[in-house]
Amino acid sequence: MVQTYKAETGNGDPGEPATRSRLRRLLDRWRDDPGIWRRGAVLAGCAVLVAFLMIFHAQVPNRIGNVGSLSETFLPWLAVVAVPPLFLAALWRRSAIALIALLLPVIVWLNLFGGLLTDKSTEGGDLMVVSHNVNAENPDPEGTAAQLAASGADVLALQEVAQGQAEIYDNALSSTYKYHSVQGTVGLWSKYPMTATEPVGIGLGWTRAMRSTVRTPEGQVAVYVAHMPSVRVKMHAGFTAGQRDDSADALGEAISRERVDRVVLLGDLNGTMNDRALNGVTSQMRSAQGAAGDGFGFSWPASFPMARIDQIMVRGVEPVSSWTLPRTDSDHLPVAARVDL
């Protein structure tokens, strides 16, 4: 006996693929399910909560463990982490209201961060600046310095220059940068003359900030280099950022007294532009990455960047491009920008 078999193509229609047939049966089950609009209220509520946390992040209190600043540090990741599992749960529950509610955090995220997905950089720029936390435990400071010098930066700012390493960086950079100054653990190297160089007090017992007037061919620019105190997440204390917050306020006061019209701030601020604790600085300066970057420009940790805590900020100049440089032996990525004077 000869038997013939017909390949499964869905409902017997040889022109209809099996996958399309399965999708149609799934949609029919959803359409005929009377509980599709009643299930998933909790999931819908979670989706709305995620959206509200992004919209009203500035109202999340800092009184307990600095939760507000912690959430703002990783704000772009909130919807990225929360929406996919909620979407899968909504599909599993066959909940129409949960799926519709998930549109809200997606729309809010696009409104807040969608502009960072496009390339806003343009050609040109009078001055290229680079900032890098080189890491006090960097095993190859000479190699890091050579890599940074090869970037083509006109002005280079380093943070976390360990005691005894200033000479190493100076020797490696001296052939490219004629002018330089190291104040405490921060330093500035420039192809153009530097004057009025001095430390900037930010409320610590040692120097972690400085300023200098760089005299470029297009005019003078006040350049600040800063390294804000580190922050930690501890089980018993939450997001410990009090010292950083106080230093940011002190730095903001120093910049507000600056008499030079053109100002550039380069440094590891240990905080993002969304963090309210940096308002003393961010309220009077623009982010080069936000104005002329391509993508989020995450700089830390270098192995898997999740936050932009290394900043290039400007006042009185126009950013034309901003980007991150290739990884060095530091735990931060170098950040770069070109500005129009």
d(CA 43, CA 20): 28
Least confident of 16-25, 81-90, 154-163, 306-315: 16-25
pLDDT of the residue at 230: 81
Whole-model pTM: value is 0.85
Closest C-alpha to 77, from 296, 324, 232: 296
- What are the CA-CA distances from residue 264 to residues 62, 191, 194, 261, 284 (Å)? 29, 16, 14, 10, 11
Q: Which CATH superfamily is domain 127-340 in?
A: Endonuclease/exonuclease/phosphatase (3.60.10.10)
State yes or no: pLDDT of 77 exceeds 50: yes
Least confident of 19-28, 65-74, 211-220: 19-28
Amino acid letter, residue 45: G
> Between these two residues, 34 and 186, which has the higher pLDDT value?
186
Closest C-alpha to 187, from 150, 136, 243: 136
Cβ contacts of 65-68, under 8 Å, gap ≥ 24: 65/237, 65/238, 65/239, 66/238, 66/239, 66/240, 66/241, 66/242, 66/277, 67/238, 67/239, 68/276
43-56 pLDDT, tens digit each: 999 999 999 999 99
260-312 pLDDT, tens digit each: 999 999 999 999 999 888 999 999 999 999 999 999 999 999 999 999 999 99
Confidence category of residue 231, pLDDT binned at 50, 70, 90: confident
> Between these two residues, 126 and 9, which has the higher pLDDT value?
126
Backbone angles phi, psi at 135, to 5 degrees: 75, 120
Conformation bin of residue 247: beta by default, left when phi > 0, alpha when psi is -120 to 50: alpha
Mean local confidence (pLDDT), 210-237: 86
Least confident of 15-19, 61-65, 99-103, 168-172: 15-19
State yes or no: pLDDT of 240 exceeds 80: no
User: Which DSSP state fits 58?
Assistant: G
pLDDT of the residue at 232: 65
**Which SS3 state, helix, strand or coil, does residue 205 take?**
coil
pLDDT of the residue at 39: 87
d(CA 39, CA 98): 8
Locate the domains of the chain by residue range.
Answer: 33-117, 127-340
pLDDT of the residue at 239: 54
176-215 pLDDT, tens digit each: 999 999 999 999 999 999 999 999 999 888 899 999 999 9
Mean pLDDT of the chain: 89
Confidence category of residue 8, pLDDT binned at 50, 70, 90: very low
Least confident of 22-36, 187-201, 219-233, 271-285: 22-36
pLDDT of the residue at 14: 52
Confidence category of residue 5, pLDDT binned at 50, 70, 90: very low
